[in-house]
């Protein structure tokens, strides 16, 4: 698509045409939590259940072979989307959270030992904190954190000092789900490699919104979810370097992840199947493939440009509200997320009033409690933008926030 036509794109999403109440159209500004789904994704999953429903890999009949072909075709599309070398490096999981837990429980339990250092950051989603807390408690590991500066960016000076302490793993978010900060992932990974550390990127907020290449990043693991990239819920991906995945033991035991089972032993399957136990989310994988096709048809560069324009416009217009404070406002490189507070007004009240005007935002700690603690606040309001949002919706948000402040004046 050479010309980005947002109105044409919006027509592909059935849910966006509805009214949340009589005369109040939906303004969906919560894509950081989950993105809406285009008709082609819904249709692909519906078609699977209507015409192809069968289990994969195990059957030789027509439906089983067709289902397997479509399931594996989606894996290839995903591999190409992130510029991975081989489809077998793509492991289907339920979501980003499970992908990170897989690394922690398989790679981490096998290769980390007492006293080893893991470097994380203060802006992490709980999904990239709690698995490492759990593992650290089990194996007596050491966790250290790259601070967030006043500008909403990672403190690279402190990071350099931590690297001097010989970390075994550096795990960080590519883009903050609260601040919208896009971290310099390639440089963070490069420095970690020089220090001898394995690297993991939480790509939940980056892969849906701009071009991400695992080859260019040089990373060892990348985790992301379909539901944030116009795909279905219940399916995500762990990409890992083949040599690392081969060295890792299976995460779950059961069907399809084995090559041979004896009463007293088993031999695990080859990649990627040794990490995909049991009947998987087949329809969701096929829907994921359709989502990849849709994003490619729009163009990731086009999506990134559109979101950048929206968020820059929002930041300028939000300045007209004196009591509004944007978190991480001065980050140099940021995506389509704006989290903010209104003086004297609880974020939940803000969200509820906006909802009366059809505007869907998120209020709370956004699964990033330590980051909110750093800012000295219990919660924030968050508006997030995606390929289907418009400048008119930005204006509606700002105008309604002015009304919110007037209500509490």
Cβ–Cβ under 8 Å, residues 30 and 15: no
Which tokens belong to 322? 């004196």
Q: 241 is written with which tokens?
A: 């370097």
Question: CA-CA distance, 29 to 4, in Å (whole number)?
Answer: 19
Q: Which candidate in 24, 367, 369, 377 is catalytic?
A: 367
Cβ 100 vs Cβ 93: under 8 Å: no
Q: Which residue carries 């990071």 as its tokens?
A: 159
CA distance 351 to 366: 13
Cα end-to-end span (Å), the chain: 47
Residue pair 345/361 in contact by the 8 Å Cβ criterion: no
Q: Report d(CA 81, CA 74) in Å as an integer.
A: 10
Active-site residue flag, 6: no
Q: Which long-range contacts (CB under 8 A, 24 or more apart) does 347-350 make?
A: 347/379, 347/380, 347/381, 348/379, 349/404, 349/408, 350/381, 350/401, 350/404
Between the alpha carbon of residue 20 and those of residues 23, 26, 115, the distances in Å are 8, 6, 53
Residues with catalytic roles: 367
């Amino acid at each position: 698509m050479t010309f980005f036509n947002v109105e044409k794109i919006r027509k592909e999403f059935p849910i966006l045409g509805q009214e949340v109440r009589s005369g109040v159209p939906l303004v969906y500004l919560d894509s950081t939590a989950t993105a809406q789904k285009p008709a082609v994704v819904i249709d692909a999953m519906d078609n699977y259940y209507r015409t192809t429903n069968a289990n994969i890999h195990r059957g030789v009949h027509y439906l089983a072979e067709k289902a397997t072909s479509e399931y594996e075709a989606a894996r290839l599309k995903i591999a190409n989307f992130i510029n991975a070398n081989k489809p077998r490096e793509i492991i289907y999981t339920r979501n980003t959270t499970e992908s990170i837990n897989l690394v922690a429980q398989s790679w981490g339990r096998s290769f980390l030992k007492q006293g080893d250092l893991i470097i994380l950051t203060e802006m992490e989603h709980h999904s990239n904190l709690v698995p490492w807390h759990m593992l650290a408690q089990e194996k007596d590991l050491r966790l250290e954190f790259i601070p967030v500066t006043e500008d909403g960016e990672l403190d690279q000076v402190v990071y350099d000092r931590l690297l001097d302490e010989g970390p075994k793993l550096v795990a960080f978010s590519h883009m903050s789900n609260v601040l919208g900060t896009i971290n310099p992932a390639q440089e963070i990974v490069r420095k970690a490699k020089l220090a001898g550390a394995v690297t993991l990127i939480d790509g939940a907020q980056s892969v849906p919104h701009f071009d991400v290449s695992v080859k260019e990043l040089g990373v060892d693991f990348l985790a992301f979810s379909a539901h944030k990239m116009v795909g279905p819920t219940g399916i995500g991906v762990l990409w890992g370097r083949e040599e690392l995945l081969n060295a890792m033991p299976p995460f779950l035991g059961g069907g399809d992840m084995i090559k041979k089972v004896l009463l007293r032993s088993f031999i695990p399957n080859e990649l990627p199947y040794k990490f995909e136990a049991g009947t998987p989310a087949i329809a969701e994988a096929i829907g994921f493939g359709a989502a990849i096709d849709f994003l490619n048809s729009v163009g990731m560069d086009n999506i990134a440009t559109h979101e950048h324009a929206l968020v820059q416009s929002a930041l300028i217009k939000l300045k007209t509200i004196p009591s509004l404070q944007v978190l991480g406002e001065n980050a140099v490189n940021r995506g389509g997320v704006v989290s903010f507070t209104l003086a004297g007004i609880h974020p939940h009240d803000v969200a509820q009033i906006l909802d009366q005007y059809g505007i869907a935002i998120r209020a709370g700690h956004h699964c990033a409690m330590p980051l909110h603690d750093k800012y000295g606040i219990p919660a924030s309001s968050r508006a997030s933008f995606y390929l289907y949002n418009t400048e008119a919706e930005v204006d509606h948000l700002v105008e309604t926030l002015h009304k919110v402040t007037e209500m509490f004046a």
